[in-house]
Structure 1
Amino acid sequence: MSASISRVTSVRHYVAGGREHGGGIGRLVGYVLDAPGKSLRHTVRDTRGPRLSLLGSPLCLAKCMAGLCTDRIRSVHTLHQLHVAGRGSTARKLLLGGAARLSGARYMLHLHDYDYAADYSRRPDWQKRAIRTLFRGAETVLVLGHRDRDTIAAFGVPADRIEVLRNCVPDPGARLRPAHETPHIVFLGQLGPRKGVPELIEALASPEMAALSWRATLAGGGDVESYRDRIAAHGLTDRVALPGWLGEPETRALCTSADILVLPSHAEGFAMAVLEGLAHGLAVVTTPVGAHPEILEHDRHCLLIPPGDPPALARALADLVADPARRAALGAEARKLFVEQFGIDGYVRRLEALQSGTDDVPVNVLRSA
């Protein structure tokens, strides 16, 4: 990691939608802002607005660029942390990164995409050149796993400026989990094909699951009405609820009532929903995509099933619904893993050490290297 030019005292986080409408990235940044004991001052700037619009989004981005340049004039002690994914997020960060380099402002990139190498490969050569310049100009690039580290290294970013930093969630605290007569299955995420929702509905409608007693809540944004129609078509309306996107308090309450967390994604970086499941000591069913297999061990911390495989998903869910002891064992190991590696306190200490450019980066309690 490059040495600091000056001491960092404040960090600006740039997130499309801000902490309230920024999906998983916004929620992660919100967790950092709310964490106690921080040594730096953290604020958020919304680069897009609550939703993409032809007028409002460019205006939000222009305000962010102006604010970035103004910060550079007022102080050299501000670091600008650009949270980047593919598609439109990259376009916005190209402009912000360009403004930072022109004004001499310091910036860090935090990559959250589920498959940035694929997104990059589809772009024209001139955009690829601009993206490589964006990443090479960052003081540090944070990534979620080894796959992303390799992607960024291929852009020509020196290895000592790339840091693997897993996501985190606040600790809800250990609790005694009552044995529910009707196990509660929870899904958290955008309702859509990438998250495996069509396969999940098919699995819930399978003969294995039909023979068992359970209920499910599929919480997330997207085309909620379309998925309600699918649920009805499978005769699952009485068993499956779709409340839409939930805020942090509602998400925590939902996990508190749950027994199983399922996320059958086709692609992820490192899913916040899976971390919520680990934190709450749930029996987690997910897929070995992104950085998941770097941390999660099948049949110990969770059940890993192939993406796009409804029969395998149905079997895994049915086994857990029918076996409270197995649910409890997986949940206990999940909770143990969370406490050891994913606590918010350790995350913030490591993040701020990287942001401030100190040489005394704490021992990696997150085991992210």
Structure 2
Amino acid sequence: MLMKALADGHQMAMRNTASVRHYVPGGCENGGGIGRLVGYITSTAKEGGADHAVTDTRGPRWSAATSSLRLLGAILTMAKDRIVDPTRIHHIHIAGRGSTSRKLILTEAAHLLGCFHILHLHDYDYASDFAARSPRQQSLIRRMFQRADCVVALGQRDHMILATLLGVDEHRLVIAHNCVPDPGAHNVRAGEPPLIVFLGRLSERKGVPELLLALSHPVMKDLRWRAVLAGDGPVEDYRRKAADMGLSGLVEMPGWLGADETRALCARADILVLPSHAEGLAMAVLEGLSHGLAVVTTRVGAHDEVISDGENGVFVPVGDKDALAAALARLVTDPDIRSHLSARARAHYLSHFSMKAYMRSMEKLYETISAQPQARVSAQ
């Protein structure tokens, strides 16, 4: 009787506004860039009266016991939704490593329950993560992606990986660049030392070691500037490294900042720097564009789909501390270049990365999925 009721539920008429549940490792507060994006999505959706819920699949910090309990809770929540809200769309956010292992279980539950579900890939190098797995795991991962109602990629690179390496049907693949809310026009600060901000986990992958080397570089030594490196990770270790480089009075590391604190920091900043070695599409870059900051980053992931070098941002080679120092020194000393990049960055954000445009595309996607009949419910 239960399985018949579940199957019947998938034949309900399409709703005007889809009911959606997001599955995020760490939730909105402890899920890094994925959590920040989902927080923006759900807040915007609720302002419009849409029903978007969030379920944490991992807990604030990873541990085998906590993660297993969170995952079990997520499956039970999905099963409950399938009974009380059978046409709810389950938007499952996935990355590599442990996230993929958890999502293999969660998506299997979605398939057995006959749930509408989307897989949204957020990863800085999913091809390498996939290649490191056993043939058995690779087969399960391919099946997981191929059985989803839709798979969302952050950019062209991931689209290609999903289509060629994982065999996802092109008709069920979409690209959705990340987005951030509009903070409003940027106020130009005159007469103060330029403020350089970094947003993200303090780590080698994000390029923090070479960023500190660049900030302590001779070309930056006699210039007027300040920097805030905001993010989690081994903050104390990096504070000690900064102190050893003589940067204590110039560089602040406040730890992870919430959305409101990040917005306040960017509102008084001039330059956004993110010298990452690998990314999908960094939320920090979009935060910089939205605030009209001069963005300095690397040509990784989908960044070259977002940034035009010298037009609305500046690219530097990965791991090149000298090039990074030169780019920062030029921006610190030339307000005209900062002003040019600022205006173009802000205009580019408004044209391509606003929450309104993103939510319209997501709502269209949800409606398309809701309109499809489902016949996958299995009692096996």
What's the TM-score bracket when you normalise by the shorter of the two chains? over 0.9
Corresponding position of 2:377: none
Q: Encode CA deviations 1:19-50: one digit per residue, 9 max, x unaligned.
A: 11111111111101111554641000000111
Q: Encode CA deviations 1:115-166: one digit per residue, 9 max, x unaligned.
A: 1111101110111011001101111101000110011112121101000000
Structure 1 SS opposite 2:64:
coil
Quick one: distance in 1 between partners of 2:36 and 2:338? 27
In the alignment, does 2:63 pair up with 1:53?
Answer: yes
C-alpha deviation, 1:70, in angstroms? 2.1
In the alignment, does 2:89 pair up with 1:79?
Answer: yes
Q: Any stretches of 5+ residues in structure 2 without a counterpart?
A: 1-9, 372-380
Corresponding position of 1:268: 279
In the alignment, does 2:36 pair up with 1:32?
Answer: no
RMSD: 1.5
Cα gap change, 1:39 to 1:135, in 2 (>3 Å) = farther
Corresponding position of 1:107: 117
Structure 2 SS opposite 1:101:
helix
Equivalent pair of 1:219/1:245 in contact (CA under 8 Å): yes
In the alignment, does 2:296 pair up with 1:285?
Answer: yes
Corresponding position of 2:334: 323
In the alignment, does 2:252 pair up with 1:241?
Answer: yes
Quick one: distance in 2 between partners of 1:309 and 1:325? 25
Q: Percent identity?
A: 52
In the alignment, does 2:213 pair up with 1:202?
Answer: yes
Of stretches 337-346 and 99-108 in structure 1, the one that deviates more from structure 2 is: 99-108
Equivalent pair of 2:187/2:267 in contact (CA under 8 Å): no
Corresponding position of 1:363: none
Alignment-mate amino acid for residue 23 of structure 1: G
Q: Number of aligned pairs?
A: 357
Equivalent pair of 1:38/1:348 in contact (CA under 8 Å): no
C-alpha deviation, 1:180, in angstroms? 4.1
Quick one: distance in 2 between partners of 1:40 and 1:160? 26
C-alpha deviation, 1:105, in angstroms? 1.3
Structure 2 SS opposite 1:120:
helix
Cα gap change, 1:121 to 1:172, in 2 (>3 Å) = same
Quick one: distance in 2 between partners of 1:244 and 1:133? 39
Q: Encode CA deviations 1:197-225: one digit per residue, 9 max, x unaligned.
A: 00000000000000211110000000000
C-alpha deviation, 1:358, in angstroms? 6.7
Corresponding position of 1:364: none
Quick one: distance in 1 between partners of 2:35 and 2:80? 24
Equivalent pair of 1:141/1:163 in contact (CA under 8 Å): yes
Quick one: distance in 2 between partners of 1:208 and 1:32? 41
Q: How does 1:155-170 map to 2 (within 5 A)?
A: 155-170=166-181
Corresponding position of 1:65: 75
Q: Encode CA deviations 1:55-80: one digit per residue, 9 max, x unaligned.
A: 22211110101111222233321111
Equivalent pair of 1:39/1:352 in contact (CA under 8 Å): no
Q: Show structure 1 runs of 4+ deviating over 3 A.
A: 36-40
Quick one: distance in 2 between partners of 1:78 and 1:243? 39
Q: Any stretches of 5+ residues in structure 1 without a counterpart?
A: 361-369
Quick one: distance in 2 between partners of 1:359 and 1:70? 18
In the alignment, does 2:28 pair up with 1:19?
Answer: yes
Equivalent pair of 1:179/1:324 in contact (CA under 8 Å): no
Structure 1 SS opposite 2:61:
coil
Equivalent pair of 2:210/2:319 in contact (CA under 8 Å): yes
Corresponding position of 2:264: 253
Quick one: distance in 2 between partners of 1:256 and 1:99? 43
Alignment-mate amino acid for residue 27 of structure 2: G
Corresponding position of 1:129: 139
Equivalent pair of 1:40/1:352 in contact (CA under 8 Å): no
Corresponding position of 2:315: 304
Quick one: distance in 2 between partners of 1:131 and 1:68? 20
